[in-house]
A and B are shown apart, each in its own frame.
Chain A
C-alpha cells in the first residue's frame, strides 16, 4: 500500500492540486460577491459621519403598488408604517437565484407585468443599476445580465420568483427565489392606506396615473438650516495645506482654495454651488457613481433621513436626491431639500445644494386636500397645448419658500409635471 502511494505520489499530488483549483474556480465563478462586497465595503468606509442611513437606505424604491386578484391597483402609503423599509429588511434575508430575460422591447408585455395581478410592486423614482439593487437588498444577482431596474414585482400567489423591470428597452427579468417568505410580505400590506392607481405608457415612458380624485393630508415641518461655516469647511477640506479664501460679491460669497476648487454661496437664498476641477484620470467611473456620490453626501454631512435618490441623467453621471415624506416627494422652486451631484466626463465635479432641509415633523391640524384625478389634470394640460413637452407626472408635496415664518413650513399635496426637463407644479402650466 505504502509502496503504491510512494510510486504514485506525483499523480496523487497532481490530482489534489487540480481538484483544489477546480474548487477555487467554482467559488470564484458561482459567487463573485466577495469581490464586490469588498469593494463596496471599502467605499462605505470613507463615510466618517454617524448617519444611520446606509447606501441602501438612500437608493430605495419610493412607491409601493399592490395589484389585487381582479387587477385593480392601489398605491400604498401610511403616515406611520414604513412599508418599503420593512420589505427591504425582509428581502435582505431572502436568497435569490438564477436570473433570466423574459422579454425585451415589447411594451404590451411590459405593461402586463406592471399590472401583474396579485402582486406587490416597488417602484424606483428613476432607474438604478442592478449593482445598487444588490447592495440595497444584500443580494448578488447577475449584474451582467440585468442592467437597469425601475420596478421590482413580487408576486403574492405563491410563485417562487420575482420580476425586475427596466423601463429602458422594456426589459423584464425573472429571478428565482431560492429562499424567501412571501407571507411575511403579504402581512405587511394590511396596515396600509390605499390610493387607486393605474399604469400607462405615455410618450414611451411608463407613468403611474391616478384615475380617481383622492385626498391627502397637509403636513407641517420645521426647517433646519445647516451652518455655512461647517458646510463650506467640509466641502473645501483637504489633506493638503492650502489656504481657502472667501470673497464677497453682492449676495454671493465665493470660497476658493487657489487651485481647482470653488464654492459659491448665495447668502440671500442659501443655495450653494460647488465645483472641483479634477483631471480626466481622477474622475469616478460611471459604474461607481452611485456609491461615490453616496459617500460624498455623507462626507458633506447632509442630513440623510428624508433624502432619497430621485433622478439620474441620461449619461448616468448626474444624480439628483430629493426629500421625501411618507413616500411622497417634496418640491421647492429654490431647490431646498434637494441635492444634485454631477461628475462630468471631462472630470469636473459639481454639486448643487442648499442650507435648508426638512427634519422635524410638526403636529398641525392636518387638513385634507382634495386632488383631482390625473386624467383631469392631463385634459387641462391638453387644453394649453403643452402636452408634447410633458414627460412624467407625480403626486408630491410643495414646499413654498416665501412663507411668512421662516422656521416652519406647511407642505401641501399637489401634482407635479415634468415639463421640458423640470418638475413644475401643474397649476403653473395652466396659466
Chain B
C-alpha cells in the first residue's frame, strides 16, 4: 500500500468523524431550540396573529411578587390624620374616601401635566402621603389623571389606594379624590410569577381573548384576592391586568390573571372568616 492511499484513507476517516460528530452536535442544539418552551409559546402567538389579535412586544421575563395584606384607611385612619395638614383646599372624608376641591384651580398644559402633579404630590400641604403614589398612564385619560399607590414597587390596582385628579376643559386641575391602603404587611416570601407573555397566551388558550381584537396593555399590579375578618384587612396578589379592545365594536374589557397560579381573578373577591385564627 503506498503512502498516498494511506493518506486518502485517513482523510476519509477523519472527514466521516467530523461530519458525524459535528452534525450530531449541531442537531442536538437545534433539537433543544425547536422543542423549547419558547417555541410552544411562539406557536400560540402565531395562532393569535391568525385570529387577528394584535399585541405589542410581550416580555418573557419572569418576575416576582408577594402576597400582601392591608386595609383601606377609614375614619380615624392614617389618611384622615394626615389630611389635617392640608391647605388651600376644601375637603371632606367620608367612608374611606377623601374628596377635595382646590381653592384655586391649578393650571397645567398638555405636555407638563404629569410633572406638575408630581410636584404637587411632594407637597404635604397639598396632597397627603403623596410619596406612596405613582402616575398610572393606562388608567388616565384627558379628564382624569390617575395615580396608584405603590406596593413593593408595583402599582395597586384597586379603589383602595388611588388618587384621581379632575381636569376641566380649561386644562386646570380642580380637585381630586383619594383613598389609601394602610397597615401594609408582606404575608409570604417573595416568589416567582408568570411572565407577561405567559399571561397573554394563557388567556388566549382559555378563550378569554376574542378574535379580531387588540391588546392595549398588560401590566403586573397588585389587586384584591380576599377580604378577611382580621381587622378588615384584605389580601392582595400580583395580577396581570390586560386591557383588550375589540376592533369592530370598539368595546374595551379588562381581564385579570393571578400571576402566582394563572387563574382568572373573580370579579368580587371571596370573603374569609379568620376569627378562629386570632387568639382574642
Contacts and interface: CB of A to CB of B under 8 A. Distances in A.
B27 to A, nearest CB: 9
A405 B11 contact: no
Contact of B274 (A50, A57, A408): A408
B14 A14 contact: yes
Given A45-B40, A52-B260, A303-B261, A410 B194 contact: no
Contacts of A41: 32, 35-36
A367 B67 CA distance: 19
Contacts of A409: 277
Given A52-B193, A222-B226, A359 B35 contact: no
Given A21-B17, A408-B273, A82 B189 contact: yes
Contacts of B278: 364-365
Contacts of A361: 67, 187-188, 235
Contact of A305 (B14, B17, B25, B191): B191
Given A21-B14, A408-B277, A362 B272 contact: yes
Contacts, number: 157
Contacts of B11: 10, 13-14, 17
A101 to B, nearest CB: 30
A253 interface: no
Contact of A403 (B14, B62, B235, B276): B276
Interface stretch (A27-35, A135-143, A152-160): A27-35
B254 interface: no
A363 B185 contact: yes
A367 B36 CA distance: 47
Contact of A326 (B31, B188, B273): B188
Contacts of B261: 51, 303, 305, 359
Contacts of B187: 79, 361-363
A81 interface: yes
A13 B194 CA distance: 53
A14 B277 contact: no
A80 B35 contact: no
Interface in B20-46: 21-22, 25, 28-29, 31-32, 35-37, 40
A243 interface: no
B57 to A, nearest CB: 20
B194 A85 contact: no
Given A41-B32, A45-B35, A85 B198 contact: no
21 contacts: A11-B7, A14-B14, A18-B14, A34-B32, A44-B37, A45-B37, A49-B262, A50-B262, A52-B191, A52-B194, A52-B195, A52-B198, A82-B190, A85-B190, A220-B277, A359-B261, A360-B67, A361-B188, A363-B233, A365-B230, A410-B277
Interface of B: 4, 7-8, 10-11, 14-15, 17-18, 21-22, 25, 28-29, 31-32, 35-37, 40, 62, 64, 66-67, 69, 185-195, 198, 202, 225-226, 228, 230-231, 233, 235, 237, 259-262, 272-274, 276-280
Interface of A: 10-11, 13-14, 17-18, 20-21, 24-25, 27-28, 34-35, 37-38, 41-42, 44-45, 49-53, 57, 78-82, 85, 218, 220, 222, 303, 305, 325-327, 359-365, 367, 403-405, 407-410
